[in-house]
Structure 1
């Protein structure tokens, strides 16, 4: 599809991109220490704490009156917190934790939506020296229990409604959970607002070091129990710099990250990165609604918007006329993460939103953005982009012996590997050292994602190693097939798997959800098959198509191909705790 260049700058921010010359910055880049990236604290030499750096550092620099958070409630009313207020409220929460007996290293969980209490609790937890672990608000009792048992949760911040429906049924199985704090009150725990009201606005900020544990994010494996990926306070160095480089985030930006707080993006870039940079963060308690989202962009004058491919496709489905009713001229950059962004979505952004959408790639384990389509370089629609400065990426092939070899030929498929050592790299899976060690070979982190790298250094996602379909000697990436199907005007969503075949070993089967106004009949099935064969060729196109109302997805919007495959073949479904509630 060629390239797309994003050159327009916001009228109120005509400065050059933070990463204006990719090649020169990358060649000379060395990750700074926390003291170099932020500041040396005279009150605590050698200490580094995310809670302090995200709030009190700005207050000390005279920026306390700047708006830190603009939180939109479900009813549309907004709450505004300045950096000074956020520093005070998070200090109050740290004092609450101290009074409740929470000490450094204790695990504090949240089961909340995007409400002000979430941000206050996260920052206050870090100031106390405790470890923050967010849960999806859509989780049911069992996945909540599993994660809190693994981490030996000491405290939980939630609502009375969530507590009654999701926590109380498994409370007897959580012996380590001693403290429950309820936002907006209720029976069964400490009242969040009442507790904060009586506490001092300053606190003793724990003398944490850069290598002290700060966050545990849980991620589901193909099988087995959830994995608790551990990240340290020093990860903030990567959060800040990747947000500056990949999202071009500046202190005077108004930034909206739509990610759920239970997903790593909702913490790394929905809380930490924008507050470290000192910009204004917008959040919305409500889930997707096209008109509401466009209204947020216009009313709050958003300049940088970070969302997900699923949301982009839903906006596309809502039509091209709707965004024309809103003033989106303040938008300087739109970025997407969570799953590969289909090429047609990039073009749609350029043509309809007047901004091409910049895809980027990373994982829960990487802690921050690793590969991106940067503002200062042409976008290649469908590509993940190029590595962030400081990240050494490679395409490798695992050998039967356990060793790996590097793939040097352009466009040859292999597994994406990252040279270990960036600041936000996970430091382990909680209580699973062997599982952690298996992720590394010869000092390289093996991501489990299959990619190809073109002659110019752009990386292209092929699929998960366990998703790739091998048919008659061909390696077929589900994403490529899904992208072709999504180009058909009748298709809203597509998920592709391989199913057994006695001759070809596997053949491609596609599950398709249609746009409104289209009927699931044999004529359309044949049309889709013909469309795919034309676009992909007979060796890659799906052999079978099954229509469905919707596809199983994670809360972050990823189609769960392995769940489609398990259901198709009658296999165990494995961990489905990340599954979005199916309509």
Structure 2
């Protein structure tokens, strides 16, 4: 049980909060099994599947089922240090499998369901995967990769009436194992490897981001403080289990806060009305989603849903548009607290309940994270001057920072040179100490002596009724160096035209600095994205350069 600090201000928070550093920490044993032993019937999860079936699960369930799976995997030779790939959507088995691997000391690789066969082969071989635990709907794709994945010893299929050839069916496989799994003498903990995330690949091939068993401790800040969770709260983070945001919002920090994780395992196209119904009927108290989701929600008739249980809202993943912030606050009565982090980190910068949110600002540095903005010569930038977001690590790394890029020592060394972890993201800080995100270092546009972050222009564009999505990039220009270009997906009912282009340009001039308006607008049906849904601005720039030849 964590004793929650209740600061009256950000300064008070920084003064009073201390990072807890338990020795030999292993989340599965020290949190989940400990809670199961103390309060077996304490509710851990509410799960709602795509058919509307609602189930509740206790910590005792997760402790016992993860022990069964750990024993069954151990019986097939999977052990400490072995890498295991999970492709499980938002199934309960994802949480069971993660805990089982933590107990074994095996290294989990949460993986998106959208990977192609080629992607699977590449990731399996570079990570030396020994076992795959996969939903039945993904099995055929994995089977197509098997001939090129010689190192895998065990395939486990989750779901379906019968196992595909060469696969173990999950339920009978798990049933073989005892529901008791004692902590091994050589238990994985502390600085032992815990999991690997593949980065989203917005600027190049995905990197293997390795985290250790101290990583969950970084999410005390996420769940207890940023999500503002109290024991018994019901928290929903909209995220797929193939990405790091799932363990940010659906696992470590929430259970350490004694909250209940609400999982909505919808499949196919996202439905705002279905999500609002789920929040309403299940009395969700704390909610986190990317700004895109909030944009869809405010287009619904929010008065038709009972959101009275909801008391705290957060967002991360992209810049929150100020019009979305104000509309949500007006309709729901709650502000949205922004946060910033990466696959390589836990929460680094955030707006906490003890702070007044500034729409569009990602907040202030999280306690335990010594963050500065550095220019190209490693000088600390004063307020108002943009720089790269960097974390001081000379005196030690904060909980939640990666161990490194696996098998890429040169990239690890470059990202951690001269005593700083370098995020590759740019921001500026105002006089009050709030940070304002600008984008990746390569995404910042240099036009006529101005430096323009794509997010602020995108934020202005998506506030217009005609725009569903926008990507802003720099286009080579002989006079300006770069011209601001917007690639836009229009909302239903709107058609590209010169009149609309002028209207959007004038709209941006009104809501942000006039020099930031897009001089070029291209209308498209969709934007190039990573499988995690992040816009690949580098692809747009590359295509534009090719078209200019």
TM-score with structure 1 setting the length: 0.88
CA distance in 1, matches of 2:7, 2:198: 32
Pick the aligned partner of 1:406 from 380, 401, 413: 380
Pick the aligned partner of 1:292 from 274, 281, 286: 274
CA distance in 1, matches of 2:488, 2:379: 37
Pick the aligned partner of 1:259 from 235, 239, 250: 239
Bigger mean CA offset, 79-88 vs 558-567: 558-567
How far did residue 27 of structure 1 move?
2.6
Number of residue pairs aligned between Structure 1 and Structure 2: 535
Matches within 5 A, 1:486-505: 486-505=462-481
Q: What do the CA deviations read for 1:73-93 (whole angstroms, capped 9, x no partner)?
A: 111102221111111001111
Structure 2: gaps (5+ residues): none
How far did residue 558 of structure 1 move?
2.5
Give the corresponding residue for 1:33.
21
Please say if residues 53 and 276 of structure 1, whose CA atoms lie closer than 8 Å, have aligned partners that are also in contact.
no
1:455 aligns with 2:431: yes
Matches within 5 A, 1:75-86: 75-86=51-62
CA distance in 2, matches of 1:107, 1:243: 27
CA distance in 2, matches of 1:302, 1:16: 21
Structure 1: gaps (5+ residues): 1-14, 36-46, 572-583
Pick the aligned partner of 2:91 from 102, 111, 115: 115
Give the corresponding residue for 2:215.
235
Give the corresponding residue for 2:392.
419
Pick the aligned partner of 2:321 from 332, 342, 347: 342
Q: Which runs of 4+ in 1 moved over 6 A?
A: none
TM-score with structure 2 setting the length: 0.94
Bigger mean CA offset, 287-296 vs 220-229: 220-229
Give the corresponding residue for 1:56.
33
Pick the aligned partner of 1:22 from 1, 10, 16: 10
Please say if residues 159 and 182 of structure 1, whose CA atoms lie closer than 8 Å, have aligned partners that are also in contact.
yes
Task: Give secondary structure in 1 for the equivalent of 2:129.
Answer: coil
Please say if residues 449 and 465 of structure 1, whose CA atoms lie closer than 8 Å, have aligned partners that are also in contact.
yes
How far did residue 492 of structure 1 move?
1.5
Give the corresponding residue for 2:156.
181
How far did residue 484 of structure 1 move?
1.3
Matches within 5 A, 1:107-256: 107-164=83-140, 166-184=141-159, 185-187=162-164, 188-206=166-184, 207-222=187-202, 224-256=204-236
Pick the aligned partner of 1:465 from 408, 419, 441: 441
Please say if residues 34 and 237 of structure 1, whose CA atoms lie closer than 8 Å, have aligned partners that are also in contact.
no
Task: Give secondary structure in 1 for the equivalent of 2:347.
Answer: coil
Give the corresponding residue for 2:374.
396
Please say if residues 245 and 388 of structure 1, whose CA atoms lie closer than 8 Å, have aligned partners that are also in contact.
no
Please say if residues 319 and 455 of structure 2, whose CA atoms lie closer than 8 Å, have aligned partners that are also in contact.
yes
Matches within 5 A, 1:314-333: 314-316=296-298, 318-319=299-300, 321=301, 323-333=302-312
Give the corresponding residue for 1:272.
252
Q: What do the CA deviations read for 1:146-203 (whole angstroms, capped 9, x no partner)?
A: 2221110011100232011x21122122121111100024213111111122321111
How far did residue 19 of structure 1 move?
4.1
CA distance in 2, matches of 1:28, 1:519: 55
Task: Give secondary structure in 1 for the equivalent of 2:273.
Answer: helix
Bigger mean CA offset, 257-266 vs 551-560: 551-560
